[in-house]
Amino acid sequence: MPGISIRNVTKRFGDLVAANNISLEIEKGEFFTLLGPSGCGKTTLLRCIAGFLDHEGGQILFGDRRVDGIPTHKRGVGMVFQNYAVFPHLSVQDNVKYGLKARRVPAREQAERASQALALVRLEGLEDRLPNQLSGGQLQRVAIARALVIEPEVLLMDEPLSNLDAKLRVEMRGEIRLLQQKMGITTIYVTHDQEEALSISDRIAVMEYGIVRQVGKPWEVYVQPGDAFVAGFIGTTNMFDSEIKTSEGGLAIAQCGGVSFGLSRSDGVAQGSQIQIALRPEAITIRDIEEPVPDGHWVLEGEIIRFEYLGSMIKYEVGFSENVTLLVVSYDAEPAKIKNVGQRVKLSYPIERAKTFRKDRPQ
């Protein structure tokens, strides 16, 4: 299985730059995800890699083989789409054999390979069914078997789970990941669903407006977002505009609506800078007013505005002066420890968990 190199790939539709000088190195056997909001260019980039679209400038390589200009059917790609794209008039088995027929594989081998691929996606026994006799999850398995049966060098999947209901989506993403690991096939997966991306990927490229904002392992893009867009797009986060008031020693202090926030100076913030602060709800601990706080934490005092009890966790909205509120997630959901609406509480967070992004510098 080769890796994939994407070097300075650009694709325009008229004036619109759908993929803007994108470079990515995807390792052999890696499960690599393109993540971003609708319209950011994920499908465009995937279609360039598959050969359905011609890009302008740049190069695309599978291993050290340049595939630019080579037609799709000669690139050795297996594709899975959101809308299944299975042929309604062909049985499950004939759908899976389709790519083999087109490649003039002998009939006996076709049958063998189709049944192996169907076993991989756990569809044994359904070979003779027609697509309208299958559930959404089963249809998507047919599509995956059909992509894999041609023994592609790379597997490309464009939002393959978007049409499934929430529970099945979670189940199927686990299955896709297992299958990919079992086969060790280099995979590029497209989704707009950040949780899906975090759960399924070795690495993620976060995209916005045709640009790759950040590439990293799931926990890297979550804990160390490179810019305000990534911080806001992945997971839930408290975000607010603020100004640095003091910056001394290891600590900077920013103010927002009369509330002071302690920040780590290693983020390189100077006094007077206009910044955005991103603070994850689970980085904040909620305490009774008199409780002690560990070293290295910044402390705030506020009042519980409302809370949502969710069994394994509680979501609190805590208010401060001038309409500043923070969302806090507590996994300490023991009934005796639940705070009440109107109660004064102490919040604390390790200062390095508050991320700062400069506003006066283009992100």
Ligand X SMILES: Nc1ncnc2c1ncn2[C@@H]1O[C@H](COP(=O)(O)OP(=O)(O)O)[C@@H](O)[C@H]1O
**Binding status of residue 169 toward ligand X by CB under 6 A:** no
CB of residue 137 vs Mg ion: minimum separation in angstroms?
21
Q: Which stretch binds Mg ion (CB under 5 A): 2-10, 35-43, 178-186, 256-264?
A: 35-43
Shortest Cβ 49–ligand X spacing (Å): 12
> Tokens 């020693």 map to which residue?
249
Between 221 and 304, CB nearer to ligand X: 221
Segment lying near ligand X (by CB under 6 A), choices 10-18, 138-146, 225-233, 339-347: 10-18
Which residue, 105 or 230, has its beta carbon nearer to ligand X? 230
Positive or negative, the CA dihedral 277, 281, 282, 287 is positive
Q: Count of residues binding ligand X (CB under 6 A)? A: 11
Q: Which of 33, 43, 115, 187 binds Mg ion (CB under 5 A)?
A: 43
Stretch that binds ligand X, among 11-19, 89-97, 224-232, 326-334 (CB under 6 A): 11-19
- Shortest Cβ 19–Mg ion spacing (Å): 12
CB nearer to Mg ion: pick between 43 and 110: 43
List the single partner that 225 binds among Mg ion, ligand X, none, CB under 5 to 8 Å by kind: none
Question: Binding of ligand X at residue 198 (CB under 6 A)?
Answer: no
Helix then strand then coil, % of the chain, to nearest 5 = 30, 35, 35
- DSSP per residue, 340-360: PTT-EEEEEEEGGGSEEEESS
Which one of 37-45, 93-101, 178-186, 350-358 is the stretch in contact with Mg ion (CB under 5 A)? 37-45
CB nearer to Mg ion: pick between 142 and 190: 190
- Residue closer to Mg ion (CB basis): 121 or 157: 157
Minimum separation from the CB atom of position 17 to ligand X (A): 9
Nearer CB in complex with ligand X: 43/186: 43
CA distances from 135 to 129, 132, 163, 179 (A): 11, 8, 11, 20
x-marked contacts with ligand X along 21-50 as a string, rule CB under 6 A: ---------------x-xxxxxxx------
Q: In the bound complex, what is the minimum distance in angstroms from residue 41's beta carbon to ligand X?
A: 4
Question: Is residue 20 a contact residue for ligand X (CB under 6 A)?
Answer: no
Q: What are 191's two structure tokens?
A: 């989704």
* Interaction mask 109-148, Mg ion, x per CB under 5 A: ----------------------------------------
Strands 154-158 and 77-80 come out as parallel
CB of 183 to ligand X, least distance (A): 25
What tokens appear for 275 in the block? 């910044």
Structure tokens that stand for 146 in this block: 């059909």
Judged by CB under 5 A, does residue 93 bind Mg ion?
no
CA-based nearest residue to 287, from 328, 239, 320: 328
- Residue 29's alpha-carbon distances to 42, 177, 194, 198, 216, in angstroms, are 20, 12, 22, 18, 16
d(CA 52, CA 46): 9
Nearest residue to 199 (alpha-carbon basis) of 179, 221, 214, 177: 177
Residue with Cβ nearer ligand X (143 or 279): 143
Q: How far apart are CA 178 and CA 337, in angstroms?
A: 40
Which candidate, 148, 144, 234, 165, places its Cα nearest to that of 197? 234
Smallest distance from the beta carbon of 75 to ligand X, in angstroms?
19
If binding means CB under 5 A, how many residues of this protein chain bind Mg ion?
Answer: 1
Side by side, the strands of the sheet bearing 251-256 are: 259-264, 251-256, 238-248, 274-279, 355-358
Which among 208, 235, 211 is positioned nearest to 221, based on CA atoms? Answer: 235
Residues that bind ligand X (CB under 6 A): 13, 16, 18, 36, 38-44
Q: Give residues in contact with Mg ion (CB under 5 A).
A: 43
